[in-house]
Amino acid sequence: MNFHFYPKFFKSSADTGFTMLELTVVMAITGILTFFLINNFPASKIGLTDSANVLVADVRFAQSKALSGATFKGNSICGYGLHPDGNDPAKYILFAGPARTAMGGDCSAYSKVYDDNSEVWAIKTIVAKGVTFQKPFPDIFFEPPEPKVYIDGQPDIAQVAEIIIQSEDAVSCPPSSDKCRVICVYGSGRIEIAPNNSCQ
């Protein structure tokens, strides 16, 4: 007596495979999901974090140039700094202070803020589209050789400059918000992206 067992889910080879309709439906669903995922990513956490990291790198670069005593256009200068571009909320200016010779060899008379004596070293734009500064930040300046930190022209070690960047749809920057990032530049020289969007 021979028993042949054919489970119901086994089909003949003529019935296997996908129909064009099934493939079209799967491709349409995949396309729609991909579209919505990509559309919701650009100004989100990744864009903000990348922008904050680039901004921190630029602040540290200005600090390192002052620390190394780097020259600008062949001159020993009073230092390097950052200044918000008043014409565009997504731009900032990297600037060099005046040449020491122009200040009679003494930089104490220089204001340590971006002014007519300063020279533009570079104009930078925040890397992520739709990300801007929430408000103009105070000028940050590094004076060699330590380098000494000046925030809005003041050398107080207890000071901190907050640079706040935000996505287009951000209204404010509460501690738990993922629509903004806060970069802290301390009078001590420490530079960081603030945890919980608050400088300590």
In a domain, 4, yes or no: no
In a domain, 90, yes or no: yes
In the block, tokens 């799967």 appear at 26
- Residues near 106 by Cβ (< 8 Å), separated by ≥ 6? 100
In a domain, 95, yes or no: yes
Tens of pLDDT along 47-103? 889 999 999 999 999 999 999 999 999 999 999 999 999 999 999 999 999 999 888
In a domain, 15, yes or no: no
Residue range(s) defining the domain that contains residue 133: 60-197
In a domain, 49, yes or no: no
Report how many domains make up the chain. 1
- Angle (nearest 5°) at CA 182 between 136 and 119: 45
Q: 143's torsion region: left (phi>0), alpha (psi -120 to 50) or beta?
A: beta
Task: Tell me what pLDDT residue 27 has.
Answer: 78
Query: Alpha-carbon distance 42 to 33, whole Å?
Result: 16
Divide the 200 residues of the chain into consecutive groups of 10 and give the mean pLDDT of each group: 54 64 78 66 69 96 95 94 95 95 88 94 92 95 94 94 90 83 96 89
CA neighbor of 130 nearest in space, from 173, 180, 82, 75: 180
In a domain, 29, yes or no: no
Here the CATH number for the domain that contains residue 170 is 3.55.40
CA neighbor of 175 nearest in space, from 200, 191, 195, 160: 195
pTM, 2 dp: 0.76
